Structure formats: structure tokens, C-alpha cells
């Protein structure tokens, strides 16, 4: 229970996943939000495997690999943030918005969620640090490590799905729609700021 609580707090701390998923669920609906949740959960599968089964060194958390990963993550967040800023200024037509909405309901939303989670080096670092405290010890049963893996992935997927569902309440979505351009600008600046923080090695999960 303690492990599940710690992991839940880490997953729901403000960061790229939450910013991107919030905007997607509000702007494009439940289906796109759930597909993005599945993408984030797929990224969690990779991070959980690395952390739980003791392969953190494969992620290159030190040296040039970590530096390269930070810059790739920052560039991707800058790309997403700039797209939202252009959208907030009305750079796209309604037709394009509808086409984007249809596309991101499935494959595109999934891929963006996967990349956003997978490219965030802080996820791997924090997971490795937290999981180590619960995996260490010779008296752990055989099923202990797989159980921790399931908690990370299943709980993460379930909580993100629930979060998307809560965002679909009419007062929440109508509030977003009344001021969509302002919200998109805020989300865009948020992603740009998170990318900058990751480069500075101070970004959240």
C-alpha cells in the first residue's frame, strides 16, 4: 500500500504527462484522452521494467546518454508547446482542428503519450530510486518484483483513465471551450517551461 501511494503521488505530480493529457482530454474528448493514457502507460511499462528488474544502467542515466536524452525530451516538449501556442493564436482552421481531433483519437494520441512519458529522464530516475527501496532484500518472495511492476503499470493506467473521465464533466469541458485559446496558451507555455527545466536538470516527473 505504501509503494502504491508513493508511485501514485509521483505519477500525478505536475509534469509533461499531466499537462499534455489534460489539454488533449479537454480539447479532443474522452477517446483521445484514453488513447493517450494508454500511450503513457506503455511508457510506464518500459520505465517499470528498467526500474524493477535492475536494468537502470541500460537507460544511460549518467554521462552523454543522459545529456542526449534530456535534449531530445526538451526538443519534443518545445515542439508540442509551440503547436499549442500557434493553436491558441488561431493559426489553424476549424477544418484542420476537426481533422486533428479525428486523428488524435487513436494512433496519434497514443504515440504522443508514449513519447512524452518515454523521453522524460526524470521518470526513469525517480522510479529507479523509489523501487530500489522496495526491491532490496534477500527475503523477498519470487512474485515480489512482478507485483511491483503490475502496481506501477496497472495503477498508472487506471488513474490516468479516471482522470480523463473526470475531465469530461460538462462544467469542466464547457469552461475550457469558453476560453480555449487562453488554456491552450497556458498549456503551451507550461510544456515549454517543463522542457527548459528538464534541460536544466531540475524538471519534474
The pLDDT tens digits of the residues spanning 169-194 come to 888 888 877 777 787 788 788 878 87
Give the percent of the chain with pLDDT over 90: 11
Q: Is 205 contained in some domain?
A: no
Distance CA 146, CA 48 (A): 10
Q: Is 110 contained in some domain?
A: yes
Q: Is 109 contained in some domain?
A: yes
Structural domain for 126, as ranges: 2-199
Triad 13, 204, 70: Cα angle to 5°: 145
- Residue-wise pLDDT for 99-156, tens only, equals 455 554 567 899 999 998 888 777 776 676 667 667 666 677 777 778 888 888 888 8
Q: Is 156 contained in some domain?
A: yes
pLDDT of residue 189: 83
> Rounded to two decimals, what is the model's pTM?
0.72
Q: Is 15 contained in some domain?
A: yes
- pLDDT top residue among 69 and 152: 152
How confident is the model over 34-63, as a mean pLDDT? 75
pLDDT of residue 91: 45
Distance CA 118, CA 92 (A): 28
Total number of domains constituting the chain? 1
Judge contact between 36 and 24, C-beta under 8 A. yes
Q: Is 59 contained in some domain?
A: yes
Q: Is the pLDDT of residue 42 over 90?
A: yes
pLDDT of residue 50: 79
Judge contact between 201 and 71, C-beta under 8 A. no
Q: What is the band of 201 on the pLDDT scale with cuts at 50, 70, 90?
A: low
Q: Is 204 contained in some domain?
A: no
Q: Is 133 contained in some domain?
A: yes
Amino acid at each position: 500500500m505504501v509503494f502504491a501511494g508513493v508511485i501514485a503521488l509521483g505519477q500525478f505530480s505536475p509534469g509533461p504527462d499531466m499537462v499534455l493529457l489534460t489539454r488533449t482530454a479537454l480539447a479532443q474528448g474522452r477517446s483521445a484522452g484514453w488513447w493517450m493514457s494508454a500511450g503513457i502507460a506503455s511508457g510506464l511499462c518500459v520505465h517499470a521494467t528498467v526500474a524493477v528488474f535492475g536494468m537502470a544502467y541500460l537507460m544511460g542515466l549518467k554521462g552523454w546518454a543522459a545529456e542526449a536524452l534530456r535534449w531530445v525530451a526538451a526538443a519534443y516538449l518545445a515542439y508540442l508547446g509551440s503547436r499549442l501556442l500557434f493553436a491558441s493564436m488561431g493559426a489553424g482552421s476549424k477544418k484542420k482542428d476537426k481533422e486533428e481531433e479525428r486523428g488524435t483519437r487513436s494512433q496519434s494520441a497514443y504515440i504522443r503519450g508514449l513519447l512524452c512519458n518515454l523521453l522524460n529522464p526524470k521518470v526513469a530516475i525517480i522510479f529507479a530510486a523509489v523501487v530500489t527501496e522496495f526491491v532490496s532484500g534477500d527475503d523477498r518472495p519470487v512474485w515480489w518484483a512482478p507485483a511491483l511492476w503490475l502496481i506501477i503499470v496497472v495503477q498508472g493506467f487506471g488513474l490516468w483513465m479516471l482522470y480523463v473521465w473526470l475531465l469530461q464533466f460538462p462544467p469542466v469541458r464547457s469552461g475550457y471551450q469558453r476560453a480555449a485559446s487562453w488554456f491552450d496558451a497556458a498549456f503551451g507555455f507550461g510544456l515549454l517551461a517543463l522542457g527548459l527545466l528538464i534541460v536544466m536538470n531540475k524538471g519534474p516527473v
